[in-house]
Amino acid sequence: MSIIGVGIDVAEIARFAASLERTPGMAQRLFLDSELLLPSGERRGPASLAARFAAKEALAKALGAPAGLHWTDAEVYVEDSGQPRLKVTGTVAARAAELGVRSWHVSLSHDAGVASAVVVAEG
């Protein structure tokens, strides 16, 4: 296996939350329902959403930031163990296949008002 790409991104949580509030429909353009809602049906908090957004930005960077990727073609989820994962479909899966990506590694964090994510694409 070899590393095909690495991406990192940060998002200021308060700024991201304000963008979601002032831009109707933005959340639906960025996230799948499974990312917006907790298993209980409650909406995820702004820190969690900002970290997921940072992961999608980092994913795009790991793929070389090509034009035409759709935000909802990448799903950030967390396994029962607590480990974050990526599921890619559509435009993102096509670009990953083009580059030979076989697996993903993702790390999410948020602290001191900032959310961050690192994504490694491995082939």
pLDDT single digits (tens) 59-85: 999 999 999 999 999 999 999 999 999
This prediction's pTM: 0.94
Whether the pLDDT of residue 24 is over 90: the answer is: no
- Written as one string, the DSSP assignment of the chain is --EEEEEEEEEEHHHHHHHHHHSTTHHHHH--HHHHB-TTSPBPPHHHHHHHHHHHHHHHHHTT--TT--GGGEEEEE-TTS-EEEEE-HHHHHHHHHHT--EEEEEEEEETTEEEEEEEEE-
Give the CATH number of the domain where residue 26 resides: 3.90.470.20
* 57 belongs to an annotated ligand binding site: yes
What is the span of the domain harbouring residue 76?
Answer: 3-122
The pLDDT, as a whole number, for residue 30 is: 97
Mean pLDDT across 10-29: 96
**Number of domains, the chain:** 1
* 9 belongs to an annotated ligand binding site: yes
